[in-house]
Structure 1
Amino acid sequence: MDRVRELASKKAAVIFTKSSCCMCHSIKALFYDLGASPAVHELDHESSGKEMERALRGLGCNPTVPAVFIGGEYVGSAKDVISLHVDGSLKQRLINAKAIWF
């Protein structure tokens, strides 16, 4: 769990994903479209990916991927991120965390 917390706080935007997850791909594309360059950790390519997935579940991430952190804070899964984008607050969160600049 410490490793996940450490990775989640290293960059302004962090996404834990799996390479085969279509929602993970969509969330990454949304962040790129907004001008952010998130740190992406693909759990199926990490040597400790299964342990990291258990840690994400322990932090309340359900489903475990995509798990999005902005400014070191857990924002949620794809559904939560899309809701933030629709209500207009995702971009402001990214600006506040210095993941994008305007």
Structure 2
Amino acid sequence: MLRNIAFNSLARSTNLVRSNASTRPFFAFKYPAFKANQSSVANDSSAEEIRSLIAQNSVFVASKSFCPFCHRAKQLLKDLNVEHKVVELDEVSNGNQLQQALKELSGQSTVPNIYIKGTHIGGNSDLQKLNSSGMLIKMLGKSKL
């Protein structure tokens, strides 16, 4: 790590690295359509829509239809007969804005992004751990599933 710090300092001092390169993810150079310096993409209506979905549903899942982790999370909820609201972000016109709003709200940019009774749970692995430990039943307020 010290070697990287020394290299970065040397590279900046000799103008080998552009000043905004440190804010750009490593993959931004490979994919030029990525905009590293985007301001907040989520607008007020997207943020309000997300807050409303979280508040109105005891279990809310932001998902993408092609995501295997999303499929596992949704299947677990289905197997447990848990009523839940799913929004497939890749199938709605404002999906990118909704995902950005979720990131600003929870700090999580990946899917599935799961909320139970207004509390951010995390993703599929977090949901699976809650189920394995028996905490999911308690969070849902059910005595048995």
TM range (shorter): 0.7 to 0.9
TM-score normalised by the chain length of structure 1? 0.86
Identity %: 31
CA RMSD of aligned residues (A): 1.9
Distance 1:57 1:64 in 2: 8
SS at structure 2 position matched to 1:59: helix
Q: How many residues align structurally?
A: 99
Please list every run of 5 or more consecutive structure 2 residues that lacks an aligned counterpart in the other structure: 1-46
Give the Cα separation in 1 of the matches to 2:113 and 2:107.
6
Runs of 4+ in 1 over 2 A off after TM superposition: 60-64
Q: Aligned in 2, Cα 1:57/1:19: closer, same or farther, shift over 3 Å?
A: same
Q: With structure 2 as the length reference, what TM-score do the two structures score?
A: 0.62
1 or 2, which has the higher strand percentage?
1
Q: What residue ranges of structure 1 are gaps of 5+ in the alignment?
A: none
Higher RCO (CA < 8 A, seq sep 6+): 1
Partner of 2:111: 65
Cα contact 1:61–1:77 (8 A) shared by 2? no
Q: CA offset at residue 92 of structure 1? A: 1.6
Helix, strand or coil: the match of 2:100?
Answer: helix
Instruction: Work out which of the two has the higher radius of gyration on C-alpha atoms and give 1 or 2.
Output: 2
